[in-house]
Amino acid sequence: MAKSCVLGLIVFATIIFSMFSVLSAFQYKVGDADGWRQPDDDNREMYETWAGNINFHINDSILFVYKNDSAIEVSKPDYYHCNETAGAVAPKDGSTLFTLDKPGFYYFISGNLDHCNRGQRLMIEVPDPASKSKINAANSLSVLGFGILCINLLMLLLI
Ligand SMILES: *[C@@H]1O[C@H](CO)[C@@H](O)[C@H](O)[C@H]1NC(C)=O
Ligand SMILES: *[C@@H]1O[C@H](CO)[C@@H](O)[C@H](O)[C@H]1NC(C)=O
Ligand SMILES: *[C@@H]1O[C@H](CO)[C@@H](O)[C@H](O)[C@H]1NC(C)=O
């Protein structure tokens, strides 16, 4: 019983922590140390993989850092077609910051058609908190109840 209580307390602490982390916005560097570049041929999904490991929230921001390249936000069809004419910009060294200020999908590509075709593109989904908040609230309440129960039981055991 004590063991499952400890486990319950850990879950409890994690939920509380994640409730707080939702409130603060993070800035992510796209590709981490790799930055924003044409992926290697054996790893064309590098930006899919990168985005898949992150839970984005409203007001998080993403920073593209590139050399002789560009990062442009495009529509869904332009993302899938690597339509660089949708926002053609001259390649340069630099960085571009985008804020994910509303829920939904965001699409980014390199302004270089060849780079985009080789996988230098990024799709991000920011979930709508409204569609999940009911479940979250219910979960948090039941975990809260379990946490309090556990604290009581642990105190009984200690007495
Ligand atoms: C996002 O930031 C804007 C402007 O700072 C603020 O008004 C809004 O409440 C924030 N939204 C969330 C979900 O934090
Ligand atoms: C920069 O990119 C352009 C277009 O891809 C290319 O033609 C040019 O050679 C590149 N310049 C350098 C210095 O790499
Ligand atoms: C590419 O983008 C341009 C400009 O937005 C648009 O006119 C054209 O229809 C797009 N082409 C495709 C294949 O989506």
* pTM exceeds cut of 0.85: no
Site to substitute for ligand 3 among 78, 89, 107, 117, most atoms within 8 A of C-beta = 78
**pLDDT tens, 28-42?**
999 999 999 999 999
Tell me the pLDDT of the chain averaged across its residues. 83
Separation CA 68–CA 143 (nearest Å):
50
Q: What was the pLDDT predicted at 10?
A: 55
**Of 80, 79, 90, which Cα lies nearest the Cα of 112?**
90
- Closest atom of ligand 3 to 77 CA is 14
Closest residue CA from atom 2 of ligand 2: 68
Q: How far is the CA of 86 from the centre of ligand 3 (A)?
A: 6
- Where do the domains of the chain lie, and which CATH numbers do they carry? 2-158 (2.60.40.420)
DSSP letters, 127-142, are --HHHHHHHHHHHHHH
Q: What is the DSSP letter of 44?
A: T
Q: Are β-strands 27-29 and 61-69 bridged in parallel, bridged antiparallel, or unpaired? A: parallel
Reading the chain (159 residues) residue by residue, the pLDDT tens digits are 566 656 556 556 655 555 655 568 999 999 999 999 999 999 999 999 999 999 999 999 999 999 999 999 999 999 999 987 766 778 899 999 999 999 999 999 999 999 999 999 999 999 998 876 555 555 665 666 665 665 666 677 766
- Closest atom of ligand 2 to 68 CA is 1
